[in-house]
Amino acid sequence: MKAEFSENLKKLREEKGISQTQLANRIGVNKSLISAFESQNRLPSLHVLSKLSYQFNVSMEFLLGINKNKTVDVSNLTTEQISVVTSVIKQFEKDNSK
C-alpha cells in the first residue's frame, strides 16, 4: 500500500504542477512530511489523507491504491450538465480504446 500511495500522490501532485512545499502549505503540514510520503517512508493519518483526497478531488481509496478509479464531483451540476459530462467521458473512453 505504501508504494501505491507514494506513486499516486507524486503523480497527482506533478499533474497539478505544484511542488512538495506548495502541497504541504495547502494542506497545513511540513514539506518533509510530503517528502516522506513520496519516498515511501510514511503513510498519512486519516486526517491528512482526507485533506489530500480533497486537494486532488479523488477518493481516499484511490490515493491508497485500493480503487484505481478516479472520481469526479458532480454534486453542484444540474442533471443536464451531468449528462453532458458523462457523454464527454464516454467519448474519451471510446477514443482511448482505439
Using alpha carbons, select from 28, 34, 36 the residue that is nearest to residue 13. Answer: 34
Instruction: Please tell me the total count of domains within the chain.
Output: 1
Using alpha carbons, select from 57, 30, 22, 14 the residue that is nearest to residue 44. Answer: 30
For 54-93, the pLDDT digits (tens) are 999 888 999 999 877 777 778 888 999 989 988 998 898 8
Residue 40 located in a structural domain: yes
Residue 8 domain boundaries: 2-64
Residue 79 located in a structural domain: no
For 15-46, the pLDDT digits (tens) are 999 999 999 999 999 999 999 999 999 999 99
Residue 19 located in a structural domain: yes
Q: ∠ CA(95), CA(96), CA(98), 5° rounding?
A: 75
